[in-house]
Amino acid sequence: MKKCGLNRCDKSLRRVLTDGADTPWELPLKKCSVVGNGGILKDSGCGRQIDDADFVMRCNLPPLSKEYSKDAGTKTDLVTANPSIIEKRFNSLHWSRLEFLKNVKIYKQSLIYMPAFSKKHGTELSLRAYYTLSDFNATQKVIFANPDFLLHTERFWKNKGISARRLSTGLFLVTAALDLCEEVTIYGFWPFGVDLHGRPLSHHYYDNTLPISGVHAMPKEFQKLWLLHKMGVLRMQLGKCEEVHHDKN
C-alpha cells in the first residue's frame, strides 16, 4: 500500500470524502488520532495522547464522559454515526430529537460523518440527523460520505482479502485518515477478548455489548492494520500510553 493512500493515487480524497465539495479543513492534516472503541482502551491512560493530536476522529458516537476521559480523551473533530445508531438509540428521531441533541453536545463543534447515500434505508435517517442539528442551530454539523469513497474503499480492501458482508466503520475511518493526514496513530483497534498479556477485555471500553455475528471480519481487518503498522504507514497503540508532557516555554 503506497503512502499516498487509497484514493489519492487516482482520485483525490478531497473530492470523494464528502459530497463532492472541498473538505472543510486545510489539507494535509498533520498529526491525527483515529479512535476505535475496543476494550483495550480501558485503563490505557491514552486520553491525553489522543487529544494531543491536531485532529481526532472517533467511531459511532462513543461516550466521552469524565469516567472515560483518562483513557479515551475528549477532543473530537470528526465522529461517525451509522444510521443504525440513529434508528436504535434515538428511535429514528421520531420523538427523540432533544435526546439526540443532548448526546452529541459532548462532541462540541465536531463534524458528524454519516453514510447517507450508501444504503437506501440510511438516507432518511441521515437527513433527519442533519435537519435536527440544523433546526436547533447546534454547534455540531452533519456531513455526508460520498458513495464513491465508500465503494472504492470496499473494493480496495476486498482485493486485499477482506471479504466481509460490510467493512467496519473503523476501517473506513483509518482509510480516510491515511489520505488526509501526514501522521496517523490508531487506538482501540483490538478485536480480541484478551489483551497482549492474556487478561480478559470487554468488547468496548465502555461496555461489553457484542457485535452481530457474521457482519464484519474484525480479526482480518486487524491483521491488515497491523501490517500497515509494521510497514510504518501508521502507528497502532496497543499498550498503555506514556504521559504527555507539554513544553511550558
pLDDT tens digit string along 16-39?
344 444 566 778 899 999 999 999
Strands (E), the chain: 29-35, 55-58, 78-80, 111-114, 141-144, 181-187, 235-237
Quick: pLDDT tens for 173-206. 999 999 999 999 999 999 999 998 899 999 999 9
Note down the domain range covering 86.
Answer: 34-237
The C-alpha atoms of residue 118 and residue 152 are separated, in whole angstroms, by 12
Cα dihedral sign for 188, 203, 123, 139?
negative
Quick: pLDDT tens for 113-145. 999 998 888 999 999 999 999 999 999 999 999
The C-alpha atoms of residue 38 and residue 214 are separated, in whole angstroms, by 18
CB atoms within 10 A of CB 60: 18
Decide if 25 is inside a domain. no
Decide if 184 is inside a domain. yes
Predicted model pTM: 0.88
Number of domains within the chain: 1
Decide if 190 is inside a domain. yes
Decide if 87 is inside a domain. yes
Decide if 19 is inside a domain. no
Active site residues: 216
| Cβ 193 vs Cβ 143: under 8 Å | no
Strands (E), 52-201: 55-58, 78-80, 111-114, 141-144, 181-187
CB atoms within 10 A of CB 20: 11
Decide if 55 is inside a domain. yes
